[in-house]
Amino acid sequence: MKSTLRALVAQAVETLRAAGTVPADATTPDFVIERPKNRAQGDFSTNVAMLLARSAKSNPRAIAQALVDALPNNAAIASIEIAGPGFINFRIAESAWRETLRKALAQGERFGRNDSGRSHRAGVEYVSANPTGPLHVGHGRAAVIGDCIARVLEANGWDVAREFYYNDAGAQINNLAISVQARAQGRGPDDAGWPEDGYRGDYIKDVAAAYLRGDSVEVDGHTVVAAKDAGDLDAIRAFAVAWLRREQNADLAAYGVSFDVYFLESSLYTDGKVEETVRELIAHGHTYKEGGALWLRTTAFGDDKDRVMRKSDGSYTYFVPDVAYHLSKWQRGYERAITELGADHHGSLARVKAGLQALDCGIPQGWPEYVLHQMVTVMRGGEEVKLSKRAGSYLTLRDLIDEVGADAVRWFLIARKPDSQLTFDIDLARSQSMDNPVYYVQVSHARMCGLMRQLRERGMSFDLDDGLSRPLDLDDATTHELVALLSRYAEVVETAGRDLEPHQIAVYLLELAQGFQSYYNEHQFLVDDAAVRNARLALASATRQVISNGLGLLGVSAPEVM
């Protein structure tokens, strides 16, 4: 409806421009179509007249009247009025609201989706945890944000590839290997000779035991067999990485998260991509040598200082493979490349973008896009939960899933904007009360399914076509509010995909569930009057469909019984 009204208003502005009421060279203002907070002010409102008044050198209310007179007729608009200093308020026809219900039920799972991104390709990278230990709760937040971004982009028609970047090279992997080796040699974290930067969690003991048994690990189509030799550090490294990758994959599967591409950092070196990228940067004249190191002139591209690319010892700094990796995304045809990271990575983003611009290969400014999430604090009984014996120093994602379930974990970690710090209350997430938002939304869905079961149990009929043909009682506040909420769904899906903010879906679903509960509390559904019964069940059915669709975009189940 917003899109329809925007198009009608734009036509009216053009009519005024053609008539000379608005100067021909005046730019069409960036007006808004919004829903007034006060229902008495109509269903929609626009500020276009006040924005046009200055260029037209006229009173805003006079411009508003001219616009109303110039608006093309449209059956979806029941009435128009001018209010205040020049707002134009619209009331939507009952038939247009009813068409929303008809579409929701006719389109089913497709309702709310659009084709705006059709024939366009996007890559979404998320989690990208080092394979050095179990996934922690921060990884869980990254996983659900990235997964839901991919889902809402697909709902907007994009062809999406989900990508996991494994940092399987560098100092942390070496620390993993020497930690497992120490365990395999019979040493523990409290013994003399334990590696200074070694990993201390019980999982290291599990990896070492599996290695000494000669276990084999299958991961991503490859099999790694343990050599059982506690002195072979390279074999231990390969086995430990594979073992932990398999464990991380299992955790993500339990969480409902999967990937299309697993990209290994080590491949950038073995395939020569890092060296190739460095040669290109040198060839384009954006590098220089100083102090025995090779530098990239990132200040030419907005960074606060130039950055070392290759140290005097010949090793590369960590942002160089990041540039090579993102270049590969561009070469793979990602028109939008979205990377979900923890906020602690913020400092490295400018240098990666500078490196990509310095390649002079047509990558647009602002590419890739980054979504950064803040930390998560987990609480139980009013106290912070920090440690997991298995991980040694942090609460694992699997700990949280085992305690409250994947649905609750996903909801609580996606329900707020990523750049806001988040407190995860385990007691609330486990509670079966209407204070628990995911429980509230799921109960609303189950309650609508329950209406249909009761209908059958009582031997009553439901004629959907008849229900959709009945006029809606828009004079009833809860009916009007519920129908208006349903009409917003497609708009929320579109903006969530455009702004990469899937939390908007969760916020909307809770509001929709609250709207349904208000309607449910004030109306009887299984009444003897077939016309009334059909109309109310049609509205409930459309609401159930929208809640189901929205939960699907969050990767949360829509139970029929609770």
State pLDDT tens for residues 146-188.
Answer: 999 999 999 999 999 999 998 887 788 999 999 999 999 999 9
Asked if the model's pLDDT at residue 387 lies above 70, the reply is: no
Q: How many degrees, rounded to 5, is the angle at CA 482 between CA 477 and CA 483? A: 100
State both tokens at 214. Answer: 């000669």
Q: What is the pLDDT of residue 344?
A: 84
Q: What is the pLDDT of residue 268?
A: 94
More reliable by pLDDT, 389 or 8: 8
CA 166 to chain centre: 21
Work out the average pLDDT over 495-519.
97
State both tokens at 499. Answer: 């702004």
Asked if the model's pLDDT at residue 194 lies above 70, the reply is: yes
State both tokens at 395. Answer: 């609460």
Work out the average pLDDT over 481-507.
97
Which residues, 6 or more positions from 446, have their beta carbon under 8 angstroms from its beta carbon? Answer: 559, 560, 561, 562
Asked if the model's pLDDT at residue 26 lies above 80, the reply is: no
* Percent of the chain at pLDDT exceeding 70: 99
Q: What is the pLDDT of residue 347?
A: 75
pLDDT band at 391 (very low <50, low <70, confident <90, very high): low
Asked if the model's pLDDT at residue 533 lies above 80, the reply is: yes
Count of beta carbons in the 10 Å neighbourhood of residue 481: 19
Which residues, 6 or more positions from 229, have their beta carbon under 8 angstroms from its beta carbon? Answer: 235
Work out the average pLDDT over 254-264.
94
- Tell me the Cα Rg of the chain: 29
Work out the average pLDDT over 352-357.
95
Q: What is the pLDDT of residue 57?
A: 87
First to last CA, the chain: 35
Q: Is the dihedral of CA 331, 335, 339, 343 positive or negative?
A: positive
pTM: 0.92
Work out the average pLDDT over 80-99.
95
Q: What is the pLDDT of residue 393?
A: 65
Average pLDDT, the chain: 94
Q: What is the pLDDT of residue 124?
A: 98
Q: What is the pLDDT of residue 101?
A: 96
**Domains of the chain from N-terminus onward:** 2-92 (3.30.1360.70), 126-270+374-429 (3.40.50.620), 434-554 (1.10.730.10)
Work out the average pLDDT over 309-321.
92
Asked if the model's pLDDT at residue 22 lies above 90, the reply is: no
User: Which of 357, 347, 365 is closest to 300 using CA atoms?
Assistant: 357
Work out the average pLDDT over 266-293.
95
User: Which residues on neighbouring strands pair with residue 378, listed in sequence order?
Assistant: 424
Query: Per this entry, what is the length of the chain?
Result: 562
Beta strands in 235-310 (DSSP E): 261-264, 287-290, 293-296, 307-310
State both tokens at 48. Answer: 């276009």
Q: Do β-strands 222-225 and 216-219 pair in parallel, antiparallel, or remain unpaired?
A: antiparallel
Asked if the model's pLDDT at residue 390 lies above 90, the reply is: no
pLDDT band at 392 (very low <50, low <70, confident <90, very high): low
Which residues, 6 or more positions from 318, have their beta carbon under 8 angstroms from its beta carbon? Answer: 170, 348
